[in-house]
Amino acid sequence: MKKMLLTSIALLPVLGFAQNAGSTLEKFMAQMKSFKTVSIDFEYHYENATEKADSRQQGSLLLMDKMYRLEWEASAVYYNGQLRWTYFKDIGEVTINTPSIMEDGIFSDPSMLFSFEEKDYHHKLRGERTGANGKAVVEFDLSPKDKNAGYTRINLQLEKDTLLPVSIKYYGKNSGNVTIKIQKIDPAVKPAPADFIFDAKKHPDVEVIDMR
């Protein structure tokens, strides 16, 4: 009995640590959902040791409800909740289509980028550390319950004091890993619906290909 009691007491910090993981993630997701709008600047890093690939590029994301505008160096994607415009800046071409619910990818629905529901993931709190900016960071590992997911694990890092995202790393099944490092996040931005529509009048030299 004494041995069982000591074992139980020893496990209390571990159990509390695990329960706190779920609580922290819930608070993080609740906060992100509470943002009616948000603007995010980030660095996108893709690496694949098998293919000897290693590339980085800057990006920005503007979100309002289900609408988004995703800007890359050579392209941009606009979505107003119904139609999607994909603008290829380097070749002066934009395609218009209706997104498929079957699409899969990190940015196929950016409004879900920070959704890590317990029903979809097993989560593990790895601990705390000091980030590059000297602030405390809380680190999690999340494993998808869906065996058909294109990745095996997600590493999520949050700033401890604000619970704002610092980085998200997806470990792909094909050895390709994607890391999104958040450089700036602004939930006070005030976009207009027109910000999520590609305005062809402002780009008269761009060829429009309507695939609806």
101-126: per-residue pLDDT in tens? Answer: 656 666 777 877 888 888 899 989 99
What is the Cα–Cα distance from 86 to 198, expressed in whole angstroms? 9
What is the rounded (10 degree) CA torsion for 92, 55, 184, 29? 100
Q: What pLDDT digit, counting tens, does each position of 48-96 carry?
A: 988 889 999 999 999 998 899 999 999 999 999 999 999 999 999 999 9
User: Number of helices and strands (H, E) in the chain?
Assistant: 1, 12
**Of the segments 10-14, 17-21, 23-27, which one has the largest average pLDDT value?**
23-27
Give the homologous superfamily in CATH for domain 2-210: Lipoprotein localisation LolA/LolB/LppX (2.50.20.10)
Residue 47 in tokens? 């690496």
Residue with more model confidence, 159 or 66: 159
Q: What pLDDT digit, counting tens, does each position of 125-157 carry?
A: 998 888 877 889 999 999 999 988 888 999 999
Residue 107's CB: how many other CB atoms inside 10 A? 17
Q: What is the pLDDT of residue 133?
A: 77
Per-residue b or e along 113-144, where b marks 16 or more CB atoms closer than 10 Å to that residue's CB: bbebeeeebebebeeeeebeeeeebbbbbbeb
Q: What is the pLDDT of residue 105?
A: 67
pLDDT exceeds 50 at position 13: no
Q: How many residues does the chain have?
A: 212
Q: What is the pTM of this model?
A: 0.83
Question: What number is the average pLDDT over the span 170-183?
Answer: 92
The domains of the chain are located at 2-210
